[in-house]
Amino acid sequence: MLPTMKNGPLLLLAVLQAGCLAESEPDEVAVKCGPRDLTPECCLKQNPGQWERCTGSTEMAAAAKRAPSLGMKAVAAGTAATVAVMIPQIGSAERRGAELAADLRSKIEKAIAQCTRKADQKINDYHFKGKSPSAELCNQVKVGDRTTWAAYLGLFKHEQAWPCLREALNKLISPARYRLRPRFQFNRKSGKWVFMEEDWVSQIVTEQGWKGLAGTIEPDIIILDEKGIIVRVYDLKFPCPETSPANWTRYTEGDWRYDTQGEVYYRILNVTPQLVSPRWGVEQIELE
């Protein structure tokens, strides 16, 4: 059970974002909701109306009953990211993106790392009064039969980071030159991976459910050059306990079995992805 929530935004965050699937289990996510879709819809589609089961809190369940339309309104507001003119393009040997200037890249990565640390600290302060969870607690099941504290906290920390990231990046580059949580799908007709616009994603979910997004990828952050070509890819990780190294999650089923997220991102996006964690900052973990 979560402690009583006196902070309105945190309560809303909890109601909206505490899903039942864990980021650390991509095989399960791919089968049921598409890679890394950690949303309440994912859990509630499988367990209609069971807010307490999907969030682990009676208060969240009560809040949902008091304002059943609140979730959809907030989701709409939260996903209404800054309109970007450019459609993200995947570079190739014939069409390479223009790398960021060293000083700009440094500022961007510093901002991303700072937002990651702030999100980590904010959620730890809320749940543990400033302390970090122990390894024992991280491995304990928090929600349902499988979702551990590690996965539960990782979800909250990701959601806590988005507003900070958007504000920080807007100060450094045009909103058109980055995307948060962009999704890509393989187009069988063209034989290429393509960016999925939000309305496209929504249509698939409406018609097929989250399972319709199986086989897509969704890195946390991409940075584009002035022509819209992807030149940087970042993925946030919140190790639990915090002393653990940040690593790429390895898939255990499907077409990417035995591959890591990093390897998949690299092959598809043609950019070496960077991991970002609160303790270690921005890292380039060697890909196998």
- In whole angstroms, give the CA distance from residue 158 to residue 153: 9
How distant, in Å, are the alpha carbons of 141, 236, 241 from that of 259?
26, 18, 24
- In whole angstroms, give the CA distance from residue 25 to residue 141: 14
| pLDDT tens digits for range 69-110 | 333 333 433 444 445 468 999 998 778 888 999 999 999 999
In the numeric block, which tokens belong to residue 90?
């995947």
Check whether 181 has a pLDDT greater than 90.
yes
Q: Read off the DSSP letter of residue 215.
A: T
Q: Pairing mode, if any, of strands 230-236 and 274-277? A: parallel
- In whole angstroms, give the CA distance from residue 135 to residue 272: 30
Could you tell me the pTM of the whole model? Answer: 0.74
| pLDDT tens digits for range 154-164 | 988 998 999 99
